[in-house]
Amino acid sequence: MSNGRVNVTPQSAILPESGPFSLVSVFNLVGNQDKVIRQCQGLLDVVNKLNQQHVSADIHLSVGFGKSFWQRLEQGVPEDFEEFVPLGSGDVTAPATGGDLLLHLHSNRHDLNFHLLSTFMQSVATEVELLDETHGFRYLDARDLTGFIDGTENPKKQEARREVAVIPQGTFAGGSFVMLQRFVHNLPAWHAVHVAQQEKIIGRTKPDSVELEDVAENSHVGRVDLKENGKGLKIVRHSLPYGTMSGDHGLLFIAYCAQQRNFREMLDSMYGEKDGQTDKLLDFTKAVTGAYFFVPSAEMLIQL
């Protein structure tokens, strides 16, 4: 132990910057729980072997569990681990779609992400129900499909990312909480808005993501850049755009944090749960999924 921090290993998708391709899959358990756990554990070896065979692939994986599934594993429950609840009202809402199991992959290879999911499903296709499968891609210079740079406030250095994302000590040291929302953008409506107005809605300049001097309270930055006692409520984002022009397209928002509370504060602010003001960006994009997961340390995953 060093500096009060337990020497455990966070799962590999958490700390590195997201690769150019991601795959986020959410499942419900419908069959043999032990078989599914063993297959999740086996994926760690599959990732290691693929990284040895394809040295430039840089594949990273996290396996997460919904609260009800985690409780069945009888490992105790991390402090402040809650289910996702619906938020908002009218046209600005965040649904709670849940899920028992999360697989988050990111790498330099779209095909290997697909191969890993295929490998997982071969043995447990009858044991799980695949609720949502989203393949993300880096767009231009790390921009959302709105044209704005995404994740400007993300911690950049590895140690800073660990401090934000990873539980430092205790029973669940090395673990992390995950928030997941898939957003479907209304790009025709967004592109009809003048760039100067888009910048006011976001709270940043479009070319270089400089925060505006007069950020509106209901702008995206105004709603999500939260501070307590002068310190920002940080999270580590791994979001990437997804989709096709002929179908749904938008942002797959996935982020890690050492405490779930930071996510809840951000969502309450975005969806007007405290003051009735909502994030203006939500006039142009809509969440269609919403879930929280707990990602145990690599050691705890192996010992399940």
Catalytic residues: 150
**Tokens linked to 69:** 């599934």
φ, ψ for residue 28 (rounded to 5)? -110, 145
Assess contact for 299 and 174: CB atoms under 8 A.
Answer: yes
Q: How far apart are CA 114 and CA 291, in angstroms?
A: 22
Q: How far apart are CA 19 and CA 114, in angstroms?
A: 14
Around 50, how many Cα atoms within 13 Å sit in the side-chain half-sphere? Answer: 22
Q: How far apart are CA 269 and CA 150, in angstroms?
A: 19
Sign of the C-alpha dihedral computed for residues 15, 18, 21 and 23 taken in this order:
positive
Around 255, how many Cα atoms within 13 Å sit in the side-chain half-sphere? Answer: 26
Q: How far apart are CA 151 and CA 101, in angstroms?
A: 25
Q: How far apart are CA 31 and CA 39, in angstroms?
A: 13
**Tokens linked to 254:** 């996935």
Length of the chain: 304
Assess contact for 270 and 181: CB atoms under 8 A.
Answer: no
Query: How large is the C-alpha radius of gyration of the chain?
Result: 19
Select from 153, 189, 180 the least CA-distant residue to 242: 180
Q: How far apart are CA 268 and CA 261, in angstroms?
A: 10
DSSP secondary structure code for residue 282 in this structure: G
